[in-house]
Amino acid sequence: MSASLQRARRPNSLAASLVELLNDYGFPLPTHAVRIILTDRGRPVTAEHLASLSAYERTSLLRTRVPPRLCSVIDAEAYAITPRWWARGDWRLQRRIQTDDAKQLWQARLADRLCIELASRQTPPAPEEITRLAFETITKLGLECYFDVPCSSEDWMTLRGLVVNAHPSHSIDGPTEDQYHAEQRLKAASLPAVDLYFGRQRE
């Protein structure tokens, strides 16, 4: 296979892995978490790979006018979130808007999911990077991680209990109230599709 053909197919391979990940989790994920989780799943990826994928998807939308497989999360004014958060292109717009309440919801869901996954695999121990991601996500919720290194499934499930107790709405599906109203405003603004998928250009 030629080197040029290999380069052409590389974004598609990464895109398939990321689509599968977002389908599995069911909510938007930040680039940092995407990189760590995909690498942990045996699909090593760098921030540069993900930036190239975003550019590839954006260019494809501009060329074909077909909704992209993957896109960027935007804020209530349609500017892309930085650092980038990823979403499925076929998710409804309101699911791709990050408001303060939605971000808290996504962080709680991510913390919940990571605790469950880490509790299920104690041998061999989880890599340090994904363990650190779980700690960081829990800390961003305003919770204290009082384990230096969780050494048992019970430790992870205790941490999960803290998340669920502090953020009981983390399991609720559908948009938040702020997301719903943001979607209505952005639709009324009649912005170009590329802005709604990848964010408006800042002047």
Q: Give pLDDT tens digits for 49-60.
A: 999 999 999 999
Of the two residues 147 and 184, the one the predictor is more confident about is 184
Q: From 3.30.750, 1.20.140, 1.10.10, 2.40.160, which CATH number describes the 1-98 domain?
A: 1.10.10
The pLDDT, as a whole number, for residue 178 is 96
**Residue 34's closest CA among 49, 19, 18, 48?**
18
pLDDT, tens only, 103-115:
999 999 999 999 9
What ranges do the domains of the chain cover? 1-98, 99-178
Give Cβ neighbours of residue 182 (< 8 Å, ≥ 6 apart): 76, 94, 97, 99
Task: Provide the whole-model pTM.
Answer: 0.89
In the chain, pLDDT over 90 holds for what percent of residues? 76
Of the two residues 66 and 123, the one the predictor is more confident about is 66
Average pLDDT over residues 19-29: 96
pLDDT, tens only, 165-177:
998 876 667 889 9
